């Protein structure tokens, strides 16, 4: 059993019978009273962010997790099928585990966090940025590019995003998958 001195960013622990991952922590030694560790952690099942304070020396149960690269293959009903890039094993991921499924593209490499002892997928992480083709957008009005105005556009995966007026159908763009925001036009 570990204690609070072993806490670090990214550590996965069993907290109140639920898995939680440490996002950030701070060891505090006040002038008066005992030391403690203030943490911010994400519950893996629900995605909620929790603030919790442990007293110094508090016992914690560390859960071993592994981060593995998988390639997205296809959607099958309510699940997404991914293939391990090392041994070609396939795993089905529930649709509820995929945070932004509209950005999934065939053959995309994603990271899946696994509970090492149970071989259970916990979190699916999309790449931070994707490059996609704009399949449809309204044409921009000539001379209306002085302002920072955005217009709706559909990309190859079917997702709707907002792009600047100078972007046309058929152009390749870079998108932030965490926010769904246009970043830049990609040169061919």
Note the pLDDT tens digit of each residue in 168-185. Answer: 899 999 999 988 899 999
Average pLDDT, the chain: 88
**Closest by Cα among 172, 164, 169 to 146:** 164
Look at residue 83 in the predicted model and tell me its pLDDT: 95
The half-sphere exposure of 30 on its side-chain side, counting CA atoms within 13 A, is: 9
What pLDDT does residue 145 have?
59
Whose tokens are 């990271």? That residue is: 111
* Total-model pTM: 0.74
Which residue, 20, 88, 94, 73, is CA-closest to 51? 20
pLDDT score, position 178: 86
Q: Which two tokens stand for residue 89?
A: 């094993």
CA distances from 183 to 48, 117, 167, 180 (A): 27, 39, 12, 9
Q: Could you give phi then psi for residue 97, rounded to 5 degrees?
A: -80, -20
What is the band of 44 on the pLDDT scale with cuts at 50, 70, 90?
Answer: confident
What is residue 172's predicted lDDT score, i.e. its pLDDT?
Answer: 93
pLDDT of residue 119: 86
pLDDT value, residue 62: 92
pLDDT, residue 39, reads 94
Region 52-56: what's the mean pLDDT?
A: 91
Render pLDDT for 119-141 as a digit per residue (tens, 0 to 9).
Answer: 888 888 899 999 999 999 988 76
Please report, rounded to a whole number, the percentage of residues in the chain having pLDDT higher than 90.
45
Measured in Å, how far apart are the chain's first and last C-alpha atoms? 54
Domains observed in the chain: 2-62 (2.30.30.30), 65-125 (2.40.50.140), 131-185 (2.40.50.140)
pLDDT score at 41: 93
pLDDT of 1 over the 80 cut: no
């Amino acid at each position: 059993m570990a204690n609070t001195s072993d806490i670090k960013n990214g550590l996965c622990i069993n907290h109140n019978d639920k898995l939680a991952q440490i996002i950030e922590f701070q060891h505090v030694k006040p002038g008066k009273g005992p030391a403690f560790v203030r943490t911010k952690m994400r519950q893996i099942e629900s995605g909620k962010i929790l603030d919790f304070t442990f007293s110094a020396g508090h016992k914690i149960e560390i859960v071993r997790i592994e981060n593995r690269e998988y390639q997205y293959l296809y959607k099958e009903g309510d699940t997404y099928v991914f293939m391990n890039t090392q041994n070609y094993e396939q795993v089905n991921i529930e649709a509820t585990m995929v945070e932004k499924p509209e950005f999934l593209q065939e053959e995309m490499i994603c990271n899946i966090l696994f509970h090492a002892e149970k071989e259970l997928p916990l979190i699916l992480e999309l790449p931070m940025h994707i490059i996609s083709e704009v399949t449809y957008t309204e044409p921009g009005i000539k001379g209306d590019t002085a302002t920072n105005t955005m217009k709706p556009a559909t990309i190859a995966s079917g997702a709707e995003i907002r792009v600047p007026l100078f972007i046309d159908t058929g152009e390749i763009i870079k998108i932030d998958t965490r926010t769904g925001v246009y970043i830049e036009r990609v040169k061919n």
